[in-house]
């Protein structure tokens, strides 16, 4: 007659348990393979059917390192919410851009970068800001308007910031993209758009969290623009929220036109 354990977990190996397990010594090492298997069976039979872990919530709270937010975006002020047709049009354009990048990624990845392109290390947050913004904007030494010297053919991107060229962004794998999205601010709007275009579905958990954080940040900035309907940053904020919510299917963050 089979035991209850065998009914739930069929025996994989034939084991002759003899007359019983009373003579099995669990305190010493098994003397042969047969005795080892009998020891395993005896130890399994002594385990309780149900085990409940005793967890102290206070200890978990002290060691908590990540606070995840599942809230949606702040609603757009009256008159600031883009229409549904506008959002659908942006998603369609974005999809075309992604297809073009995917088609040409191998070509641009094999393209040799210029000597002046020194990409920062993955974890160098300030380095990425300097790389994207340029030394002038990053250091606040002058306005973002290019001078005549800056408009010469031999443009020094280290001073005015590197644009998100395909030869650069195509070299990022999905692991590198995630922290880059975290580091950048809305001043690097072109970079944010380009990095979102390079993110592959399904998203890595870290990327999923980063783009949701990005959409919430955009919504928060938009909520402070009451009375500034002509603000030049409004279309960019709406666009980033739209792409995160509509294209990457974070529908709880989407703008809902009235």
Domains of the chain listed by start with CATH number: 85-110+119-137+159-253 (1.20.58.1070)
The C-alpha atoms of residue 8 and residue 39 are separated, in whole angstroms, by 19
CB 64 within 8 A of CB 224: no
Give the per-residue pLDDT at 63: 63
Along the 258 residues of the chain, how does pLDDT read in single tens digits?
A: 455 555 556 666 666 655 555 667 777 788 888 788 888 878 887 888 888 888 887 777 666 665 555 667 888 888 899 999 999 999 999 999 999 888 887 777 777 777 778 887 777 778 877 888 787 777 764 444 444 444 444 567 777 788 888 888 777 766 556 556 666 666 678 888 988 998 888 888 888 888 998 899 999 989 988 777 778 889 999 999 999 999 999 999 999 987
pLDDT at 142: 42
Q: Report the predicted TM-score, pTM, of the whole model to 2 decimal places.
A: 0.63
pLDDT of 141: 46
pLDDT of residue 49: 80
pLDDT at 216: 92
């Amino acid at each position: 007659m089979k035991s209850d354990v065998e009914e739930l977990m069929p025996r994989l190996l034939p084991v002759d348990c003899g007359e019983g397990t009373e003579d099995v010594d669990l305190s010493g090492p098994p003397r042969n393979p047969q005795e080892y298997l009998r020891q395993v069976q005896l130890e399994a039979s002594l385990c309780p059917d149900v085990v409940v872990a005793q967890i102290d919530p206070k200890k978990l709270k002290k060691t908590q390192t990540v606070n995840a937010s599942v809230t949606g975006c702040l609603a757009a002020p009256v008159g600031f919410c883009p229409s549904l047709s506008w959002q659908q049009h942006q998603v369609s354009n974005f999809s075309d851009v992604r297809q073009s990048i995917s088609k040409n990624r191998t070509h641009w990845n094999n393209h040799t970068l210029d000597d002046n392109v020194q990409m920062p290390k993955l974890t160098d947050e300030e380095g990425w800001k300097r790389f994207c913004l340029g030394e002038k904007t990053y250091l606040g030494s002058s306005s973002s308007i290019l001078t005549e010297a800056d408009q010469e053919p031999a443009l020094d991107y280290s001073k005015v910031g590197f644009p998100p060229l395909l030869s650069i962004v195509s070299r990022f794998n999905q692991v590198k993209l995630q922290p880059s999205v975290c580091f950048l601010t809305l001043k690097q709007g072109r970079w944010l758009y380009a990095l979102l275009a390079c993110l592959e579905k399904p998203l890595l958990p870290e990327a999923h969290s980063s783009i949701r954080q990005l959409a919430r940040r955009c919504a928060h900035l938009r909520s402070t623009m009451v009375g500034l309907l002509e603000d030049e940053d409004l279309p960019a904020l709406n666009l980033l929220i739209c792409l995160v919510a509509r294209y990457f299917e974070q529908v709880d963050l989407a703008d809902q036109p009235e």
